[in-house]
């Protein structure tokens, strides 16, 4: 409890309020309330003013962001405010009773999450269930698990003796009759059941945990029997070992590897010590049972009897939370977030404590990684050719973001940035655009002149975007200033050239080309400025996972701790895989990825993906398909098209948070000249693949930007903004087009137009090729010529091929490789990078090799290459493309397949 008294709201509190103050406790008594709780003043100001006006109030579970221990934290409070009258009846103060309910709110949120998970598990229950109606036990309901158990028979509406006759011989029918007659539940554990096959023979015996539950009407008369159970054949041995409740609870506790959990009696002696405590603190359970946790505290806390004090506070208040330094067995000090809870029996009598500690070392490391990321971002800002700055919400103050990673500097308050950076003749235009951007809370983009000395000026492109707070109000503006003088002059010269183009085309052609090149370069720089922020954010996250995973791996190896290395290897591998996926999306957007087009039949592809699409969408979304393409095929990269379809379905799912319907359709059409021109594609036959949802739809301004790189309507961290850009780049690179049909509240339809493959569909059938030691046994030694200018890649690829049983010849440039191909050396496979340094690229080396070795198998490996470099997407027979980065197993599989086909 506390009192805010008098005009200054003097702060007076009781002892129970002291722990809430934390470091503020010293000197808090008697200070003004605004000074003590400046960071939480906005949360209590209104009810205090109401109490001073004579109106009491009460609030339950109110979120308040506080700074009690030097760091901001989210807390929840239940409190009330009442007016205090003096002897004359005037209101002189406010009386507040408050209690922190953070733990309760967090627990309720966690419980709600667990309830959602339980509902989802029930909907996809692994248990078999069936309802038998009446004394004849007629089957009315049966779930897929039951149908699968009895051999996928026709069940609904039949009597049990007719549908499942083996139930008679195996003794289940008398049990059912007894349950129906007596109304008593039957529970069977590990009972045997052998299903009857189609030919009348009994199948393999299954062990079931089964319950026959009688169902009665309101008057208690029997209606039927609800049967539920679980096939536990493969789990019998495991279930027998887990029957002990104590063992089960212990395994649950030990599974919390990231939490140190231990229990104590009322004297503080440890009675339980989980595996997470051993891993976090270093002591085994045998070493700690019967001991007190005092050895976890440093010398200062031991002298202050911090542990005993914590037990007393926990007994008095029911629990205790906080963050403190603790000691490991090795003597290392680490920071841990902990909670001590009193254990009580059914009568409410305290009989011990449980302590849960969470090591915050990883969070500290994450903070350091964030600081490193900010330094990297600062370096990126320093390398930018643009000027970056921040503006206050009212546009009065401008803060320059300096280069070389320096912090934001606030310029003098009397410094007028508009007068310094904007030409006087452009002030009115800028003011109008600022007023429009402020009222609509939308980005601003304007060209204006910046005055220089001696009356000259430069043209600047000013872009500013708003930063909105949680209430949707503008808290700050961030902007860039790009010098576009050369671009504007080039545009003016280009316009002048256009006016007199016919008379001056021959004399000014060279100057026009130079002007256009400058314009394109300026546009490229603008695009780089837009893309840099998104790329830096995503790659910083991915590189953090890689670098931190490798750092932790190095630390664990140095400590001799090898039991947890896989997690850090997986962390680094996951970051690298996601970085590779981001690179592929960027390549797809830029239409620079290497495609391997094949004949793809839409209906066959969609039917093959329905299972993964259904799992990705969840049970709340119904899927409908319709195919009107007559089995027509398109010439595209099959995996890329599958990835594009899955991305569209996931976007549709996100647009239907409450569930809905997703329709996937395909239609063959012949685009005439006018229709093709509207779609910016050549006339001819096409197949249109459409994905339609019944979701929220999009505003027209959002539809215009959906294909822009890094544009996303999802919250930060839930999407890169490259998904639709990748789909657009892939479709355009495949000779097609993408169109969007969307209206707010009416859903969205995405159309992919792809060129139809003319002629018979001839999918290539390739026999599987064995890899590994079995494939090497009895096979003659094969020779591979490896051409790669990157030394590290060449060494690694060579080692993989040698381990696969090949003899490897190496070359770092094209000319030496061509000399080897023209020699008498036996070569069974050419593996070459496409973008080689030197006079010859990889395709030229392959063509030269095939002149003297017709039919030579060729495997192109490439990380970034235009499709023209390997044949504009059309490769000769016996040639394949493998995109970097790739797995060693995939390299071996492709190499073996090419060699076998060549042989």
701 CB-side CA count, 13 A: 3
Phi, psi values for residue 867, rounded to 5° = -65, -25
What's the CA gap between 480 and 483, in Å, rounded?
A: 10
SS3 string, 331-373, reads CCEEEEEEEEEEEECCCCCEEEEEEEEEECHHHHHHHHHHHHH
| Predicted local distance difference test score (pLDDT) of residue 862 | 82
- DSSP-derived letter for residue 183 is -
**SS3 state of residue 75:** strand
Q: What stretches of 363-410 adopt beta strand conformation (E)?
A: 387-392, 398-401, 408-410
Secondary structure letter of residue 159 according to DSSP: B
Residues 239 and 260: beta-carbon distance below 8 Å:
no
Among candidate residues 409, 478, 402, 481, the one with its CA nearest the CA of residue 443: 478
Compute the distance between CA of residue 694 and CA of residue 744 in angstroms, rounded to an integer: 10
Q: Note whether 304 and 289 are within 8 A (CB).
A: no
| pLDDT of res. 728 | 81
d(CA 365, CA 555): 13
Backbone CA torsion sign across 642, 644, 645, 646? positive
Cα separation of 722 and 717, whole Å?
Answer: 13
Residue with tokens 């089964």: 210
Q: Using the structure block, give the residue that is written with the tokens 């496409």.
A: 834
Q: What single DSSP character describes residue 891?
A: H
Q: Which CA distances in Å does 879 have to 825, 857, 896?
A: 21, 6, 13
Query: Which phi and psi (to 5°) does residue 789 adopt?
Result: -85, -15
Q: How far apart are CA 847 and CA 871, in angstroms?
A: 11
One-character DSSP codes across 743-776: ETTTEEEEEEEEEBPPS------------SHHHH
Q: What is the pLDDT of residues 401-423, one digit of tens each?
A: 754 444 444 455 556 888 888 88
- Residue 380 has a pLDDT of 61
Q: Which residues of the chain have pLDDT under 50?
A: 122, 403-410, 523, 527, 537, 588-593, 716-721, 762-777, 865-868, 872-873
Using DSSP bridges, classify how beta strands 10-13 and 128-133 pair: parallel, antiparallel or unpaired: unpaired
**Which residue, among 322, 332, 271, 275, has the nearest Cα to 298 in the 3D structure?**
332
By C-alpha distance, which of 130, 142, 158, 134 is closest to 217?
134
Q: Residue 265 in contact with residue 311, Cβ under 8 Å?
A: no
Please report the pLDDT score of residue 505 as a whole number: 57
Strands 259-264 and 270-273 come out as antiparallel
| 825: its two tokens | 């050396």
Q: Cα-flanking dihedrals φ and ψ of residue 354, to 5°?
A: -130, 135
* Cis ω for the linkage preceding 885 (within 30 of 0): yes
Residue 790 and residue 863: Cα distance in Å, rounded? 12
> Residues 650-702: pLDDT tens digits?
888 988 988 999 999 999 999 998 888 888 899 999 999 999 999 988 888 88
Cα(688)–Cα(739) distance, rounded to whole angstroms?
A: 10
Backbone angles phi and psi of 685, in degrees to 5: -80, 140
Give the pLDDT score at 178. 93
- DSSP for 635-678, please give it: EE-HHHHHHHHHHHHHHHHHT-TT-EEEEEEEEEEEE-HHHHHH
CA 746/CA 694 separation, integer angstroms: 6
Q: How many CA within 13 A on the CB side of residue 20?
A: 22
**Other Cβ atoms closer than 10 A to 766:** 9
Task: State the Cα angle at 724 between 720 and 726, rounded to 5°.
Answer: 85
Number of neighbours of residue 736 by Cβ within 10 angstroms: 22
Task: Report how far residue 192's alpha carbon sits from residue 195's, in angstroms, rounded to the nearest whole number.
Answer: 10
Q: Strands 444-451 and 598-601: what pairing? A: unpaired
631: left (phi over 0), alpha (psi -120 to 50) or beta: left
Q: How many Å apart are CA 464 and CA 386, to the nearest integer?
A: 13
pTM for this predicted structure: 0.32
DSSP 437-459: HHHHT--EEEEEEEE-GGG-EEE
643/722 Cα distance (integer angstroms): 13
> Which residue shows structure tokens 């406010």?
94
Per residue in 148-183, pLDDT tens? 888 888 888 999 989 898 888 888 999 999 999 999
Question: What's the rounded Cα separation, in Å, for the pair 245 and 238?
Answer: 14
CA terminus-to-terminus distance, the chain: 88
CA distance 441 to 9: 38
∠ CA 356-361-362, nearest 5°, is 105
Q: Evaluate whether 464 touches 444 at the Cβ level (below 8 Å).
A: yes
> What SS3 class is residue 431?
helix
Cross-strand pairs, 217: none
Radius of gyration of the chain (CA): 36
Distance CA 734, CA 757 (A): 12
Contact between 184 and 213 under an 8 Å Cβ cutoff? The reply is no
Paired sense of beta strands 319-327 and 270-273, if any: unpaired
The predicted structure's pLDDT at residue 813: 92
Residue whose tokens read 């029996």: 345
Provide the pLDDT for residue 158: 92
* Cβ count near 696 (within 10 Å): 18
Selection from 896, 866, 696 nearest residue 801 by Cα: 896
> How many Å apart are CA 56 and CA 757, to the nearest integer?
77
Sequence-distant (≥ 6) Cβ neighbours of residue 602 within 8 angstroms: 627, 629, 632, 633, 634, 666, 687, 689
Q: How far is CA 449 from CA 429, 435, 445, 446, in A?
A: 11, 19, 13, 10
Residues in the chain, overall count: 903
Tell the burial category of 874 from Cβ atoms under 10 Å away from its Cβ (0-12, 13-18, 19+).
Answer: exposed
């Amino acid at each position: 409890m506390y009192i805010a008294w008098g005009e200054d709201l003097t702060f007076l509190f009781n002892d129970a309020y002291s722990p809430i103050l934390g470091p503020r406790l010293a000197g808090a008594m008697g200070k003004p309330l605004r000074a003590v709780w400046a960071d939480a003043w906005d949360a209590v100001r209104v009810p205090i003013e109401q109490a001073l006006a004579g109106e009491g109030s009460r609030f339950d579970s109110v979120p308040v962001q506080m700074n009690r221990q030097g760091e901001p934290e989210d807390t929840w409070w239940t409190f009330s405010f009442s007016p205090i009258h003096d002897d004359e009846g005037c209101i002189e103060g406010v009386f507040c009773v408050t209690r922190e309910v953070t733990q309760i709110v967090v627990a309720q949120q966690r419980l709600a999450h667990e309830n959602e998970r339980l509902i989802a598990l029930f909907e996809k229950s692994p248990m078999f269930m069936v309802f038998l109606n009446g004394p004849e036990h007629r089957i009315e309901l049966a779930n897929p698990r039951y149908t699968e158990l009895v051999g996928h028979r026709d069940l609904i509406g039949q009597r049990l003796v007719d549908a499942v006759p083996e139930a008679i011989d195996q003794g289940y029918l008398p049990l059912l009759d007894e349950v129906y007659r007596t109304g008593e539940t039957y529970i069977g554990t590990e009972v045997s059941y052998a299903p009857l096959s189609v030919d009348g023979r009994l199948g393999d015996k299954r062990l079931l945990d089964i319950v026959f539950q009688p169902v009665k009407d309101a008057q208690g008369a029997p209606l039927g029997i609800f049967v539920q159970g679980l096939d536990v054949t493969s789990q019998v041995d495991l279930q027998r070992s887990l029957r002990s409740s104590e063992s089960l609870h212990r395994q649950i506790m030990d599974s919390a590897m990231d939490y140190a959990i231990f229990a104590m009696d009322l004297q503080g002696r440890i009675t339980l010590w989980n595996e997470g405590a051993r891993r976090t603190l270093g002591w085994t359970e045998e070493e700690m049972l019967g001991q007190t946790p005092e050895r976890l505290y440093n010398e200062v806390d031991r002298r202050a009897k911090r542990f005993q004090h914590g037990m007393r506070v926990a007994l008095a208040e029911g629990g205790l939370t906080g963050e403190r330094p603790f000691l490991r067995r090795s003597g290392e000090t680490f920071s841990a977030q902990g909670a001590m809870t009193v254990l009580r029996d059914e009568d409410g009598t305290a009989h011990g404590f449980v302590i849960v500690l969470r090591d915050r070392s990883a969070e500290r490391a994450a903070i350091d990684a964030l600081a490193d990321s900010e330094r990297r971002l600062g370096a990126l800002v320093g390398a930018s050719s643009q000027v970056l700055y921040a503006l206050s919400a009212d546009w009065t103050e401008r803060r320059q973001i300096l280069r070389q990673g320096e912090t934001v500097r606030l310029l003098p308050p009397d410094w007028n940035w508009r007068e310094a950076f904007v030409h006087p003749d452009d002030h009115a235009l800028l003011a109008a655009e600022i007023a429009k951007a402020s009222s609509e809370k939308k980005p601003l983009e304007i060209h204006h002149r910046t005055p220089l000395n001696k009356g000259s000026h430069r043209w600047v492109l000013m872009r500013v975007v708003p930063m909105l707070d949680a209430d949707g109000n503008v808290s700050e503006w961030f902007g860039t200033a790009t010098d576009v003088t050369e671009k504007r002059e080039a545009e003016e010269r280009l316009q002048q050239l256009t006016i007199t183009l016919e008379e001056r085309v021959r004399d000014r052609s060279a100057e026009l080309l130079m002007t256009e090149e400058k314009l394109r370069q300026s546009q490229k720089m603008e695009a780089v400025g837009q893309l840099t922020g998104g790329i830096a954010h995503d790659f910083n996250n991915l590189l953090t996972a890689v670098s931190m995973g490798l750092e932790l791996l190095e630390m664990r190896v140095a400590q001799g701790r090898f039991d947890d290395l896989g997690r850090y290897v997986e962390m680094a591998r996951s970051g690298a895989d996601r970085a590779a996926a981001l690179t592929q999306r960027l390549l797809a957007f830029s239409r620079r990825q290497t495609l391997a087009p094949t004949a793809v039949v839409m209906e066959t592809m969609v039917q093959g993906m329905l299972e993964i699409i259904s799992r990705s969408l969840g049970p709340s979304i119904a899927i409908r398909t319709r195919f009107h393409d007559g089995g027509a095929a398109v010439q595209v990269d099959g995996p890329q098209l599958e990835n594009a379809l899955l991305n569209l379905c996931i976007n549709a799912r996100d647009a239907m948070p409450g569930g809905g319907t997703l329709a996937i359709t395909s239609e063959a059409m012949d685009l005439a000249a006018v229709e093709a021109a509207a779609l910016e594609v050549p006339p001819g036959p096409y197949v249109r693949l459409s994905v339609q949802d019944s979701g929220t739809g999009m505003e027209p301004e959002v539809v215009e930007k959906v294909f822009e790189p890094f544009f996303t309507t999802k919250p930060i961290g839930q999407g890169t903004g490259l998904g639709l850009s990748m789909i657009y780049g892939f479709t355009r690179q495949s000779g097609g087009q993408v169109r969007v049909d969307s209206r707010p509240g009416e859903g969205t339809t995405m159309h992919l137009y792809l060129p139809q493959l003319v002629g018979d569909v001839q999918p290539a059938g390739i026999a599987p090729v064995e890899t590994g030691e079995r494939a090497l046994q009895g096979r003659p030694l094969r020779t591979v010529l490896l051409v790669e200018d990157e030394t590290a890649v060449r060494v690694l690829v060579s080692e993989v091929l040698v381990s696969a049983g090949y003899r490897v010849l190496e070359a770092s440039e094209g000319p030496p490789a061509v000399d080897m191909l023209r020699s008498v050396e036996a070569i069974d496979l050419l593996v070459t990078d496409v973008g080689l340094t030197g006079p010859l690229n990889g395709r030229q080396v392959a063509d030269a090799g095939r002149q003297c070795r017709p039919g030579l198998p060729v495997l192109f490996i490439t990380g970034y290459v235009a499709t023209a470099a390997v044949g504009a997407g059309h490769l000769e027979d016996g040639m394949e493309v493998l995109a970097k980065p790739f797995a060693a197993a995939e390299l071996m599989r492709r190499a073996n397949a090419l060699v076998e086909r060549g042989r």
